[in-house]
Amino acid sequence: MQHVSQAPTDPALNQDPYPFYNRIRPLGDLVWWEDYNMPVAGSHAVVSSLLRDRRFGRENPFPPEIPAHQAPFYAVEAHSMLELEPPRHTRLRGLVLRAFTSRRIKELAPEIEALSHSLIDDFPDAPFDLLTEFAQKLPVIIIARLLGVPEDKAPDLLRWSNAMVRMYMAARTRADEDAAALAATEFSDYLRSYVEARRAKPADDLITNLIAAEEDGERLSTEELITTCILLLNAGHEATVHSLGNGVKTALLTGLRPENPDTFAEEVLRFDPPLHMFTRFATDDIEAFGHQFKKGDQVGLLLGAANRDPLVYPAPDSFDPDRAMPAHTSFGAGLHFCVGAPLARLELSIALKALFARCPNLALAEQPEYATSYHFHGLTRLMVTR
């Protein structure tokens, strides 16, 4: 296996990771990324295969000892279906899907459209940051409404989410870990009181539906409910903000507009996805793609690289909203395919359509820059003029 060295905190990588992916993809099915001390996959075929390979999972067979200052964060993670395998994952996902139905998501379309236009109404005339005025507000308000928590709690939800998500970014600091632990505690305490209120007085919201969801006589515990709500916000919000920002930036640089919002949104997700690496643990001693994995070894799946594989996507570095293409890997695949994918697609499609219909003269006010937060891939800000 060939070895490569590339610091994930390198600003050049974070501004444009695709040349690095183009360099490593021809080196083999798996390449050893020295900075992560593990093999990574960069082709569409291998990434897609490993996402579906049940010999790899999200649970570490040899979980490390958790430092005391991180305990509140990992107490929440312990109930996250994103970090679990069957049978717990099967039970949790089944219960969540009973509440988080496609019908319920589709019913949100008019609400997402109305909110998009309301946020656009409030755009200032002077240059402004589209991330803070639009991309960050829309998904957090929608998830607040979906959960049934007051909209005026959105700033707290956003603050807690941002702090917790930093635990997954390269070069996190002790300060980041302390902030994530505090956010996990405050978020859990708030939701616990809210769940108990909904148990006593049901309403037409996702928390009530999650409480009522039942499969084979089993229901979600309070801790599982809390973690599921946090997961829906953290995983969905961070990705949607980045997708919106990356999509608008791409539209402004290419001059292309969402004539067909659904296919445009899909190409945004392929071309510049919000998450670039997802990891899996080998559940046993196994062989895959010529490499011998020991139980507990990790493999990195480079979603951003797979989406630009020239063997699958002709002219992969060109943004083409009309391209016919196989499924991209931005939502994962297999057992852990993103449960919020329908909502993310709906928000992205509706928001982009509304934005460019209302602001046909939208233009960049300065060159946008990506945050140094690999393996997330999103802008620090997006200054625009109307």
The predicted model gives 337-364 an average pLDDT of 96
* pLDDT, position 104: 87
* pLDDT, position 325: 78
Bridge partners of 370?
379
Helix boundaries (H) for the chain: 11-15, 18-24, 44-52, 71-77, 88-99, 102-106, 109-121, 130, 137-147, 154-165, 174-200, 206-212, 222-254, 261-271, 303-306, 341-358
State which amino acid sits at residue 365.
Answer: A
* pLDDT, position 215: 66
Burial degree of 317 (CB within 10 A; 0-12, 13-18, 19+)? exposed
Counting every residue, how long is the chain? 386
pLDDT tens digits along 205-234: 889 988 888 766 788 899 999 999 999 888
| CA nearest neighbour of 378 among 172, 183, 131 | 131
pLDDT tens digits along 296-335: 999 999 999 999 999 999 999 999 999 987 899 999 999 9
The predicted model gives 181-199 an average pLDDT of 93
CA–CA separation, 213 vs 205, rounded Å?
12
* Contact call for residues 326 and 307 (beta carbons, < 8 A): no
Per-residue 3-state assignment (H helix, E strand, C coil) for 164-199: HHHHHCCCCCHHHHHHHHHHHHHHHHHHHHHHHHHH
- Residue 361: CB atoms within 10 Å: 7
Which domains occur in the chain, in start order? 3-26+34-53+68-385 (1.10.630.10)
In Å, how far are 129, 146, 233, 237, 328 from 343, measured between CA atoms? 24, 11, 12, 10, 17
pLDDT tens digits along 95-112: 888 888 888 899 999 999
Note the pTM of the prediction, 2 decimals.
0.94
Q: Residue 254: is its pLDDT beyond 90?
A: yes
Roughly what angle, to the nearest 10 degrees, separates helices 174-200 and 222-254?
Answer: 120
The predicted model gives 85-93 an average pLDDT of 92
